[in-house]
Amino acid sequence: MNNDRVIKTEYSEEMQKSFIDYAMSVIVARALPDVRDGLKPVQRRTLYDMFELGVRYDKPFLKSARIVGDTMGKYHPHGDSSIYDALVVMSQEFKKGLPLVDGHGNFGNIEGDGAAAMRYTEARLQKITQEAFLSDLDKDVVDFIPSYDETGKEPTVLPVKVPNLLINGSEGIAVGMVTSIPPHNLGEVIDAEKAYLLNPDITTSELMQFLKGPDFPTGGIVINKDELLDIYETGVGKIKLRGKVEFEKQKGGKTNVVITEIPYTMIGANISKFLLDVAALFESKKTQDIIDISNQSSKEGIRIVIELKKDADPENFVNMLYKKTRLEDTFGVNMLAISNGRPETMGLKEILRLNSEFQYEIHTRKYTNLLAKELDKKEIQEGLIKACNVIDLIIEILRGSKDRTMAKSCLVEGKTDGIRFKSKESKIMAAQLCFSEKQANAILEMRLYKLIGLEIEALIKEHEETMTNIYRYEDILENKSSMTEVILSELDAFKKEYGRKRRTVIENGKEAVFKEKEIEETQVVFLMDRFGYCKTVDLSVYERNKEAADNENKYIVACKNTGKLVLFTDTGSMHTVKVMDVPNGKFRDKGTPIDNISNFNSQNESIVYVATQSDLNLCPVIFVTAQAMVKIVDGGEFDVTKRSIAATKLNEGDRLISVIALREQRNIVFVSEEGFFLRIPIEEIPEKKKGAVGVRAMKLTAKDRLSAVYYTRNTIDSSIDYKGKTIVLNTIKIGKRDTKGTKIRV
């Protein structure tokens, strides 16, 4: 390898530069929309490719696979799935306020079912996409850049004539930033744009007299109307959404709660999750009012029916749904888009300002282009009219010329050398001709039928129309007010043809308040077998089956149904579980795995102790590890709201082997794997914080570890079976902490 090809650079600087380059590529070229056309690059390229393929609204559908393949091959080198996903989303009426693609086939549904494979579906442009997004591409209104392989060109932005960023909104995640713009009503957005065009000094508050707020395709209710002004001024905030609910009276005095519209954030898999959440409210006994729940949604719209009991309070039940499920949800607004090549967070007025500037820019380029074409036509038309007046002379020139060049020189410069004329007068008149290059070419290419009287009249009439267009285009270009009128007229036409009624209601909703039915506090017993299956049974059920329960279960804890259980594991973690979350049933019910109702993971840890949180509040807790580290912790430190915490600190390679609440125990006996026993008074163990490692209880050899821990009382003898030998723990000589202990030989 040649040394001159090795580039030496600082690693951190290269990483920083590479990451910034990558981040900006994602931000500008993939994830964020352009404020001018409201489109991400993949959307823009897909629409442009469909336009180039001629897949118009009035033409037959084309296979999606053909569109995707063509787009990927020409313009978008990022994989077919991103292109097809963009195509699908642009066709879904439940996601876009203004669908830009007309999809034919299975393009998914509001309940989260995905679209069919691209080889099965077909698509074409919507009429408004063709008219408002792509119609002026042939008039040099936007810049074109080379495609990624430089075999063609693509537009840097589409000449969109409506504020699409607001109409369709946008969602995207870039590197270190996210955009989330809600969709709006086309008619209201156009009215707001018109208001800005007529008065650039208009305030956001005045603009919101026209644009009331977001208009989601799924309808629903926005309940924080008073907060919208601040959101639209800053471009950042939270919109509170609720689904629309109706009550239907049934026979027998029952009431059905019917959800007819859902929050925009619930579309997709969240509908199924909502149904599961409602069912969970019943299973967890948050409510006992539900008889049945069914999803009767169809192509006609959303219809989720919840049947309630006769004595249920429907209003209170709906308030509970607002509080406990996604029937009331939040849409986070962050109106971030690309402006002049940079990502910026913009308010409503700024978006309308940039869009109006874009409208003036594309209209200026459009009418400049049209004016140039009309001036060319005028020049040629005037030449042809002038030629008709001296047609005999022109015919004489053509007949007397040796070639086209000689005839053209005579028409343009009046050169008569070499041309045979019938008379001197003709030669003198020919020398006075001064047609332009374009006029001379048009005359030389003119067909004889143009000399017919009616054709000449038509030419004169066409010239008059050309002059009218020239005066109009010059007026539009020279007078901003005239151009504004043109833009306003186009906006009015789009509103008239494509406008629709608002779907989302905007109001100041009342805070949802519901009264939970108080749960009757009862005494239950928590049972968990050695396989980790747990349940609770009523105290009377346990007492009738006490012997079987004690034999079959590893952990048995008396508790109240309103309390909490704490699980200590060998990894030093503590997990809390609400007793209400543990299924209550019959004694012979299998129960549910403890993993399913807590953060405990049986693959990575083992439970060493189970107690109620209320019991721990009343007494200290002792911790012992395999490396003989020991400490006492105040039980109040474990009264936490989190589902999981670190209950103790462990040395590397260590694990908990014993945790217990201290009540009447007086001595503790440590047993090592090598057969050493050490009995010490519990008073020798210091109290520490839960974040401490503790102190050494017993000296162990390098390979030895504690295998068991026992607790004794002074007046009660307790014995254990150790390798076939019965050992009375109280007879072991009391020693000192951090000593080796006594070797028991068997």
C-alpha distances out from residue 22 to 17, 19, 340, 356, 422, Å: 9, 5, 19, 32, 78
- Whole-angstrom distance, CA of residue 120 vs CA of residue 105: 7
Please choose, from the candidates 183, 227, 225, 230, the residue with its C-alpha nearest in 3D space to the C-alpha of residue 204.
230
CB 42 within 8 A of CB 78: yes
SS3 304: strand
Let me know if 609 is a catalytic residue: no
| Residue 125 host element (H or E) | strand 122-125
Most distant pair of Cα atoms in the chain: their distance = 151
Residues in the chain: 746
Burial pattern 321-351, b for ≥16 Cβ within 10 A else e, equals bbebbbbbbebebebbbbbeeebbbbbbbbb
Count Cβ atoms below 10 Å from residue 643 Cβ, excluding itself. Answer: 13
Residue with tokens 């020991």: 630
Helix-strand-coil split of the chain, %, nearest 5: 40, 25, 40
Q: Tell me the C-alpha to C-alpha distance, in Å, between residue 302 and each of 110, 114, 243, 271, 457.
A: 9, 18, 10, 10, 64
Distance between CA atoms of residues 580 and 157, nearest Å: 57
Whether residue 196 contacts residue 350, with contact meaning beta carbons closer than 8 Å, is answered with: no
Based on its alpha-carbon atoms, the radius of gyration of the chain, rounded to whole angstroms, reads 41
Which listed residue (22, 120, 148, 471) is catalytic? 120
Q: Which long-range contacts (CB under 8 A, 24 or more apart) does 484-488 make?
A: 484/197, 484/198, 486/363, 487/161, 487/197, 487/356, 487/359, 487/360, 487/363, 488/194, 488/197, 488/198
The rounded distance, in Å, linking the Cα atoms of 217 and 502 is 9
Torsion sign over Cα 656, 661, 662, 665:
negative
The side-by-side arrangement of strands in the sheet containing 607-612 is: 607-612, 564-569, 573-578, 644-646
Active site residues: 120
